[in-house]
């Protein structure tokens, strides 16, 4: 599977961790819009884990724990923002 050139910086570049944090942040609010905060927390985390499993088994790259930590950081910021404006 070939990755378009404009996405290569996201997948392999120095901005990958920022993308993980931003997507997890947005996914949290996406799930929160329809469901409870616990559901949003769990499913936004699971999306990140499944993405890493996809990387390991389908794309044949490594399972990056630092990507998971970036996901947790994004979810953490989302929870702080949610609780601050609630």
Outline where the chain has alpha helix (H).
5-12, 16-34, 37-57, 65-84
Q: What is the pLDDT of residue 59?
A: 82
Q: What is the pLDDT of residue 10?
A: 54
Q: What is the pLDDT of residue 62?
A: 87
Domain spans of the chain, in order of start: 30-86
CB-neighbour burial class of residue 38 (10 A; exposed 0-12, middle 13-18, buried 19+): exposed
Q: What is the pLDDT of residue 4?
A: 61
Q: Which two tokens stand for residue 45?
A: 């985390």
Helix axes 5-12, 16-34, angle to 10 degrees: 90
Per-residue pLDDT of the chain (86 residues; tens, 9 = 90+): 565 655 555 555 678 889 899 999 999 999 998 888 999 999 999 999 999 998 888 888 888 899 999 999 999 999 999 999 98
């Amino acid at each position: 599977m070939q990755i378009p050139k404009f996405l290569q910086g996201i997948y392999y570049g120095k901005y990958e961790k920022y993308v993980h944090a931003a997507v997890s942040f947005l996914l949290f609010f996406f799930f929160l819009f329809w469901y409870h905060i616990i559901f949003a927390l769990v499913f936004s985390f699971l999306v990140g884990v499944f993405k890493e499993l996809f990387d390991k088994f389908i794309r044949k790259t490594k399972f990056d724990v630092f990507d998971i930590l970036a996901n947790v950081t994004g979810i953490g910021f989302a929870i702080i923002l949610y609780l601050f404006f609630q």
